């Protein structure tokens, strides 16, 4: 490969071979064993010293190569078109790339040696003159917007530039096409050229979002590692490709790199996944911190250098290395005498590269050849080479016989053959690589500004079939797919709508202009989100494409649903409020009316009625007042502030007599002959419980059982102790029952079952019961069947004291009980 890199890994083999030859000569010349041993020892010491020197040079060389590799291979991203020209101080064009020629609509042969201002529109020439003057005075200036000549077909461009170096009389000018359609079309063409360059050089790029742990590989990198194009890449997939013998070293090196935020520079072996072949790769990468998104990215390139490694091994180990190298190498190779620096041989590839024949090269020192007059090769450099045994020179200019300058890199290695040192010189043409690197580095910024750096997820869509043509990084992060995966997907892959329905919707609105859609989109994780999509059309190569900007509206939708639900709840609360006012008014009106009528009768007949009649009227007034008081108590108990921990006041009570007392009070108040049977398995007579809470709970439950049951139907109350110091109460009646679908609503305020008929009630009795049971840290369960009856199960904890005095718990004891309940 033309730009492959051959680096000596173990030049010690050369010296070991030289030592072997030398030892053979020694053996032929003398038979004295002792003298041979001495000479052998001396040479072993010399070889050991050489080994140490080579190891030191090898470390320095590795560091130099890694630094150079990082400068060569910058971030590899897809990019837009960019033209460049090199000018002298008179604005005369010295060189230009293909894109610049296309923008100026002139062949390169005609463009060279012409003045750039001839292609600038007349009304923009003053601005160009001012820009160009400042450039050589200030070295860098702001971008300049200009127009090119062309009749009606005037192109708008942006130029920026810099002086090549402080001593140079040349400047480098970048030309950006501001015509959107042509710019995007040229970006696609230039992307295809760069992809071809990656394929030829077997260079793949990667990008790792450290913050979100999102990995991206280029197609070439998938190929280098032998992975399927649709394979999801992550740390495990990558490290699994690394050769087991190199894996631990690479893991430790990567860990150190991430910890110290240093560059990654390493050559290592991999096992290609698709065929199991061992390959050598050269990995380079560095960190980048995005202040806007607070994200840390690690990106770089990986090049397959297996061929270079194999070539180096062949050079250092094969006896006939020179013949094979000369016949097969696609690099320029020279053999030099290490003492004089004169060329002793040159391969065919180098001769064809520069245009000079073999006789014109052989016998001349390297720095005497006009081919190398622009390089830094000199006698001093060559002397340094003999000491270090290895030198490398990058970004050098090699001049051919025709006067053309070629960008090259050199590697010079000293080796021993037949006890004589020679120099092996490799010359590689890196012109294409440099052009591609510069184009990538410079034009990548424009592409990112147009599409990649947009913070909103964006997709480029073909409206005729719904295929995703391209996606930016924000979309990849949002959906969880890589950019490579996106380009193989259809809108139906991320939408819950089928493909034909999506295309139909786009057909109605999408191509005519800017449009708005709402869809439910699927993510790589399997989750779905509500999104809104704004689309606008773009014409590329005569074909309409849609640029879709996506916004996540899931939270907004949820908030709208929440507000809708709150509005519904507000309506229900207003309805309940009206119902409560109406119910309470009705319930209070009845006893008050009875009190009023009884007082009026006493006022009229007080003198004529006997004591028995008056006593009956007084009892009616008393009962009505008690009923009114009970209603007021229920209403006051709805207040949350009364259901606080301070309301909980347990005392030592006789539980069973209290239950019987509550039963008698409710039967008396109802004026019926209901039979209530109590079955108790209590082990103790007294328990520490809140008597007020117990009375409220069971007054309500027992009164309901009596109210909704016929007199000939018995009511049972089963009382028993259960584990964890709890008492279970089961109240069972054979009354009208409750519809099963309404049981869950009974404990809500103001709710009454639909089959209550004419039986009076407020609908908040059971809600109060539930609050008191919760306050007592108990449980309630209601089971019912219509026309068969209802069973209410209540479980309440109780407390014990060492003494049995019938007195309330003090504040400390109450707080302790409440704390234990929590």
Tokens 């020629």 belong to residue:
101
Residues 652 and 736 in one domain: yes
Give the model's pLDDT for residue 804.
Answer: 46
Nearest to 476 by CA among 302, 285, 303, 297: 297
Please determine, for residue 195, whether its predicted confidence score (pLDDT) is greater than 60: no
pLDDT average, residue stretch 195-218? 74
Residue 37 CA to residue 455 CA, distance in Å, equals 75
Q: Would you say residue 15 has pLDDT above 70? A: no
pLDDT for 244: 93
CA 135 to each of CA 85, 91, 112, 678: distance values in angstroms, whole numbers, following the listed order: 14, 11, 21, 106
pLDDT of the residue at 309: 78
- Do the strands 676-680 and 715-722 form a parallel or antiparallel pair, or are they unpaired? parallel
pLDDT greater than 70 at residue 36: no
Range scoring the smallest mean pLDDT among 340-349, 435-444, 490-499, 683-692: 435-444
Last residue of a domain, one of 304, 337, 362: 304
Extract the tokens encoding 786: 């219509």
State the pLDDT at residue 260. Answer: 84
Lowest mean pLDDT among 1-15, 147-161, 719-733: 1-15
User: Which of 198-212, 402-416, 578-592 is modeled with the greatest confidence?
Assistant: 402-416
Mean pLDDT across 190-206: 57
527 pLDDT more than 50:
yes
Q: Which of 95-104, 410-419, 462-471 has the lowest average pLDDT?
A: 410-419
Please give the pLDDT value at position 576: 62
Of the pLDDT bands very low, low, confident and very high (cuts 50, 70, 90), residue 196 is: very low
DSSP track, 302-352: EEE-HHHHHHHHHHHH-TTHHHHHHHH-SSEEEEEETTT-BEEEE-HHHHH
The stretches of 118-179 forming alpha helices (DSSP H) are 125-138
Name residue, tokens 């590697």: 411
Half-sphere exposure of 464 (CA within 13 A, CB side): 3
Going by pLDDT thresholds of 50, 70 and 90, the confidence category of residue 326 is: low
Cα three-residue angle 658-663-666, rounded to 5 degrees: 125
Confidence class for position 39, pLDDT limits 50, 70, 90: low
Predicted pLDDT at 201: 53
pLDDT of residue 69: 42
pLDDT given at position 669: 74
Residue finishing a domain among 258, 279, 304: 304
pLDDT at 148: 86
Residue 334 and residue 418 share a domain: yes
| Per-residue pLDDT at 719 | 94
| E strand or H helix that includes residue 297 | strand 295-304
If asked whether residues 688 and 794 sit together in one domain, one would say yes
User: What's the token pair of residue 715?
Assistant: 């009511």
Is residue 758 located within the same domain as residue 663?
yes
Between the ranges 187-201, 302-316, 766-780, where is the mean pLDDT highest? 766-780
Q: Is residue 69 part of a domain?
A: no
Number of domains present in the structure of the chain: 6
- Are residues 753 and 663 part of one domain? yes
pLDDT of residue 72: 40
Give the end of a domain, one of 496, 519, 552.
552
- Are 730 and 801 in the same domain? yes
How far is residue 90 from each of residues 97, 107, 129, measured CA to CA in Å? 19, 20, 10
**Tell me, what CATH number does 586's domain have?**
1.10.287.130
Does residue 8 sit within a domain? Answer: no
**Chain segment 288-325, per-residue pLDDT in tens:** 777 667 788 887 888 888 887 776 666 555 555 556 65
CATH number of domain containing 513? 3.30.450.20
| Across 370-397, average pLDDT | 77
Q: Same domain, yes or no, for 539 and 613?
A: no
| 23 has pLDDT over 50 | no
Residues 803, 742 share a domain: yes
Q: At what angle do helices 765-775 and 691-707 cross, to 10 degrees?
A: 150
The pLDDT tens digits of the residues spanning 610-644 come to 888 888 888 878 877 876 776 676 666 655 544 45
pLDDT higher at 376 or 690 = 690
With respect to residue 6, please indicate whether it lies within any of the assigned structural domains: no
What are the angstrom distances between the C-alpha of 624 and each of 11, 631, 637? 115, 11, 20
Per-residue pLDDT averaged across 676-686, rounded?
89
Say if residue 270's pLDDT is above 90.
Answer: yes
For residue 26, is it within any domain? no
Confidence band (pLDDT; 50, 70, 90) for 194? very low
Q: With respect to residue 580, please indicate whether it lies within any of the assigned structural domains.
A: yes
Q: Determine phi and psi for 720, rounding to 5 degrees.
A: -155, 155
Q: Which of 36-40, 255-259, 423-427, 763-767 has the lowest mean pLDDT?
A: 36-40
Least confident span in 204-218, 639-653, 690-704, 789-803: 639-653
pLDDT at 771: 81
| Whole-number Å distance between alpha carbons of 280 and 306 | 5
Domain contains 445? no
Q: Higher model confidence: residue 442 or residue 100?
A: 100
Lowest mean pLDDT among 192-196, 401-405, 604-608, 652-656: 192-196
Name which of 148-162, 414-428, 616-630, 713-727 the model is least confident about. 148-162
Integer Cα distance of 508 and 185 in angstroms: 27
| Averaged pLDDT of the chain | 76
Q: State residue 412 phi and psi, 5-degree precision.
A: -120, 125
Alpha helices in 91-151 (DSSP H): 98-104, 108-111, 125-138
How confident is the model over 44-95, as pLDDT tens digits? 666 666 766 676 666 666 555 544 444 443 333 233 357 888 888 889 998 8
Judged on CB neighbours under 10 Å (0-12, 13-18, 19+), 543 is: exposed
Same domain, residue pair 500 and 627: no
CATH number at residue 753: 3.30.565.10
Backbone angles phi, psi at 161, to 5 degrees: -160, 175
Q: Are residues 657 and 580 part of one domain?
A: no
Region 420-447 average pLDDT: 71
Q: What is the pLDDT of residue 805?
A: 47
In a domain, 46, yes or no: no
| Of the candidate ranges 19-23, 467-471, 614-618, 653-657, the one whose mean pLDDT is the lowest | 19-23
Same domain, 779 and 692: yes
* Domain residue limits at 175: 83-189
Least reliable range by pLDDT among 552-561, 575-584, 614-623? 575-584
Cα dihedral across residues 716, 719, 720, 723: positive or negative: positive
User: In angstroms, rounded to a whole number, what is the distance separating the alpha carbons of residues 691 and 695?
Assistant: 6
Segment 714-748, tens digit of pLDDT: 999 999 998 878 999 999 999 888 888 888 877 77
**Where is 635: in which H helix or E strand?**
helix 611-637
| Same domain (yes/no): 633, 645 | no
Looking at the domain assignment, is residue 711 inside a domain? yes
């Amino acid at each position: 490969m033309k730009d492959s890199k051959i680096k000596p890994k173990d030049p010690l083999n050369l010296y070991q071979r030289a030592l072997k030859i030398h030892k053979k000569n020694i053996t032929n010349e003398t038979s004295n064993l002792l003298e041979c041993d001495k000479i052998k020892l001396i040479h072993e010491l010399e070889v050991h010293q050489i080994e140490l020197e080579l190891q030191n040079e090898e470390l320095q060389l590795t560091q130099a190569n890694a630094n150079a590799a990082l400068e060569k291979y910058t971030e590899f991203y897809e990019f837009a078109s960019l033209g460049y020209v090199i000018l002298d101080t008179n604005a005369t064009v010295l060189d230009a790339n293909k894109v610049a020629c296309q923008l100026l609509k002139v062949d390169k042969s005609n463009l060279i040696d012409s003045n750039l201002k001839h292609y600038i529109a007349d009304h923009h020439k003053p601005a160009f003159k001012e820009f160009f003057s400042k450039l050589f005075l200030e070295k860098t200036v702001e971008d300049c917007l200009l127009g090119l000549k062309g009749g009606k077909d005037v192109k708008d461009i942006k130029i920026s530039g810099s002086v090549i170096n402080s001593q140079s009389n040349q400047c480098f000018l970048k030309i950006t096409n501001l015509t959107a359609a042509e710019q995007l079309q040229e970006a696609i063409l230039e992307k295809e050229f760069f992809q071809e360059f990656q394929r030829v050089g077997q260079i793949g790029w990667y990008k790792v979002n450290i913050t979100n742990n999102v990995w991206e590989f280029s197609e070439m990198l998938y190929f280098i590692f032998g992975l399927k194009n649709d394979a999801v890449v992550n740390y495990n997939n990558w490290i699994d490709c690394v050769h087991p013998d190199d894996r631990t070293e690479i893991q430790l090196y990567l860990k150190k790199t991430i910890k110290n935020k240093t560059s990654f520079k390493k050559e290592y072996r991999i096992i290609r996944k698709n065929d199991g072949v061992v390959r050598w790769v050269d990995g380079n990468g560095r960190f980048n911190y995005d202040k806007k998104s607070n994200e840390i990215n690690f990106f770089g390139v990986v090049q397959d250098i297996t061929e270079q490694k194999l070539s180096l091994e062949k050079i250092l180990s094969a006896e006939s290395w020179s013949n094979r190298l000369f016949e097969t190498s696609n690099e320029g190779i020279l053999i030099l005498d290490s003492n004089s620096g004169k060329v002793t041989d040159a391969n065919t590839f180098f001769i064809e590269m520069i245009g000079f024949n073999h006789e014109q090269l052989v016998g001349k020192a390297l720095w005497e050849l006009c081919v190398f007059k622009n390089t830094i090769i000199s006698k001093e450099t060559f002397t340094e080479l003999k000491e270090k045994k290895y030198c490398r020179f990058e970004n050098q200019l090699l001049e051919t016989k025709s006067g053309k300058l070629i960008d090259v890199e050199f590697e010079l290695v000293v080796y021993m053959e037949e006890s004589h040192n020679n120099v092996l010189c490799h010359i590689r043409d890196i012109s294409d690589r440099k052009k591609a690197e510069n184009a990538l580095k410079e034009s990548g910024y424009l592409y990112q500004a147009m599409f990649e750096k947009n913070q909103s997820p964006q997709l480029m869509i073909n409206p005729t079939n719904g295929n995703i043509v391209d996606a930016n990084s924000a979309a990849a992060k949002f959906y969880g797919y890589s950019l490579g995966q996106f380009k193989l997907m259809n809108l139906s892959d991320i939408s819950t709508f089928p493909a034909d329905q999506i295309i139909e919707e786009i057909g109605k609105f999408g191509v005519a202009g800017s449009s708005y859609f709402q869809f439910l989109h699927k993510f790589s994780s399997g989750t779905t989100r509500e999104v809104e999509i704004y689309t606008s059309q773009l014409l590329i190569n005569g074909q309409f494409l849609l640029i879709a900007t996506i916004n996540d509206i899931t939270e907004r939708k949820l908030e709208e649903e929440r507000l809708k639900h709150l509005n519904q709840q507000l309506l229900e609360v207003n309805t309940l409020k009206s119902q409560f006012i109406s119910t309470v008014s009705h319930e209070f009106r009845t006893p008050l009316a009875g009190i009023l009528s009884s007082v009026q009768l006493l006022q009229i007949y007080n003198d004529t009625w006997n004591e028995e009649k008056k006593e009956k009227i007084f009892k009616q007034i008393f009962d009505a007042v008690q009923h009114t008081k009970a209603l007021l108590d229920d209403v006051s108990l709805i207040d949350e502030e009364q259901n606080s921990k301070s309301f909980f006041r347990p005392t030592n009570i006789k539980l069973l007599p209290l239950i019987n007392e509550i039963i008698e009070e409710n039967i008396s108040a109802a004026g019926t002959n209901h039979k209530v049977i109590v079955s108790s398995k209590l082990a103790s007579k007294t328990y520490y419980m809140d008597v007020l809470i117990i009375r409220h709970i069971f007054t309500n439950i027992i009164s309901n059982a009596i109210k909704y049951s016929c007199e000939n139907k018995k009511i049972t109350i089963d009382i028993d102790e259960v584990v964890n110091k709890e008492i279970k109460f089961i109240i069972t009646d054979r009354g009208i029952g409750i519809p099963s679908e309404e049981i869950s609503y009974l404990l809500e305020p103001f709710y009454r079952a639909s089959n209550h008929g004419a039986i009076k009630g407020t609908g908040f009795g059971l809600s109060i019961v539930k609050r008191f049971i919760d306050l007592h840290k108990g449980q309630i369960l209601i089971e019912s069947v219509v026309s068969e009856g209802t069973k209410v199960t209540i479980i309440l904890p109780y407390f014990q004291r060492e003494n049995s005095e019938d007195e309330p718990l003090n504040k400390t004891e109450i707080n302790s009980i409440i704390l234990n309940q929590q």
